[in-house]
Amino acid sequence: MKVSKNRVAVTILAGIVLVLFLATVAGLFYYREMIKSLSADREEVFNQYPRLYAYIAEDPESKLSNRIYKEISEYAMENGCYVEMTGQNLSTSYSKADRINIAISSKVDGIILEGDDSEETAALIDKATKNGIPVVTVLADCQSSSRKSFVGLNNYSLGTEYGEELAAIGEEKKTYPISALILVDKDDGNADDIIHTAIQESVTGRKITLSSGVVDTSTPFTSEEDVMNILDGLEKVPDVIICLNDRTSESVYQCIVDKNLVGQTTILGYYDSETILKAIEKGSVYATFAIEATTVAKQCVNALNEYNDTGFVSEYLSSNYILINRDNVSTYDPEGGKADG
């Protein structure tokens, strides 16, 4: 029995239609399952936090500020709140005052602020307070303001420790008098002045002469340029260069390497960047001082939570510096901010 060509064609066409239909149904089913999966993932990713805090750094690009922010952010999420660094990763650069105003306009539940002594900052802190937003200052204070608490470090003690390390360098060199250049941050006058004074007092009576220079640390370029200009303007390279800022420390080290002065001068640094830690291992940097970032972060978040919960908080909370030198650099943990020995 012969089958007509038309019947064969119809059968093939029906088969194709059936296959397409089944493929469409399978595709729709797969698409529906994917949507469910994505929805489930989104539900897991997006968490709601009852409190939103703003972290405002003096310099949003500073490695130290970013380290502290990282610790604050992680600890905050573990304790039911979220912290955002205001003004970070934006196409436009905002001043510190602008960033404080942004935080106030955003009606955050609290502000963690790297303070200063300016009247403008004090007025903005008072503005935040009037809007029901508590402010905690960190690293540097703003005493004339209505801030609720200051999470600080003992700068006088730090200056004394710099002095002790300077004296130790003198004992090693045995070539008195020892000349030391202290590089201070242009925008951190009060804190650096305290450290400078403590260094002077701790080396009184020793054959150590001190001089100072001011560095603009607003950008890596200005910092390195100022350091280079200061060194070029000296008749003799100092025996020791003391850096009171993280950016200055790296700029000094880079300039010393570029000018082939390694071994001719000794660096006492600030902050525990990878560059400085490697330089200590090599012997190019004598020692550095690091902040216990984890402790500082916890104190900042706890201070705001305590004030929001009770309406009260201690006006001053202190943390310590860590001395990192050749004896403990191999066991130092930058993430944990701890060293054995």
- Per DSSP, the residues of 262-302 read BTTBEEEEES--HHHHHHHHHTSEEEEEEE-HHHHHHHHHH
Would you say residue 29 lies in a domain? no
pLDDT value at position 340? 55
DSSP annotation string for 101-169: HHHHHTT-SEEEE---S-HHHHHHHHHHHHTT--EEEESS--TTS--SEEEEE-HHHHHHHHHHHHHHH
Looking at the structure, do residues 112 and 200 belong to the same domain, yes or no?
no
Q: Name beta bridge partners: 291.
A: 321
CB 248 within 8 A of CB 223: yes
Same domain, 234 and 314: no
- Structural domain including 209 reads 155-292+323-331
Residues 196 and 140 in one domain: no
**Please, which residues have CB within 8 angstroms of residue 104's CB and are 6 or more apart in sequence?**
111, 124, 127, 128, 131, 133
Domain assignment present for 37: no
Closest CA to 114 of 183, 190, 52: 190
Task: Tell me which residue has tokens 């000349």.
Answer: 179
pLDDT in tens, the chain (341 residues): 444 666 666 677 766 767 676 667 666 666 667 766 666 555 445 577 899 999 999 888 888 899 999 999 999 999 989 999 987 766 678 899 999 999 999 999 999 999 988 899 999 999 999 999 999 999 889 989 999 999 998 889 999 999 999 999 988 887 788 899 999 988 765 778 889 999 999 988 888 999 999 998 888 889 999 999 999 998 899 999 999 988 899 999 999 999 888 888 999 999 999 999 999 999 899 999 999 999 999 999 999 999 999 999 999 998 889 999 999 999 988 776 565 54
What is the identity of the amino acid at 111?
I
In a domain, 80, yes or no: yes
Residue 98 lies in a domain: yes
Contacts of 162 (CB under 8 A, 6+ apart): 195, 198, 199, 202, 242, 268, 289
Note whether residue 31 is domain-resident: no
3-state secondary structure of 218: coil
Domain count of the fold of the chain = 2
Q: What are phi and psi of 338, to 5 degrees?
A: -135, 150
pLDDT for position 341: 47
Same domain, 288 and 315: no
Residue at token pair 């009852």: 50
Domain assignment of residue 34, yes or no: no
In whole angstroms, what is the distance from residue 57 CA to residue 8 CA?
78
| 213 and 249 assigned to the same domain | yes
Structure tokens at 214: 């001011």
Same domain, 172 and 266: yes
Do 196 and 327 lie in a common domain? Answer: yes
Residue 156: C-alpha distances to residues 134, 163, 168, 194 (Å): 28, 11, 19, 6
Same structural domain for residues 70 and 178? no
Q: Examine the domain organization and report whether 140 and 175 are in the same domain.
A: no
Residues 75 and 179 in one domain: no
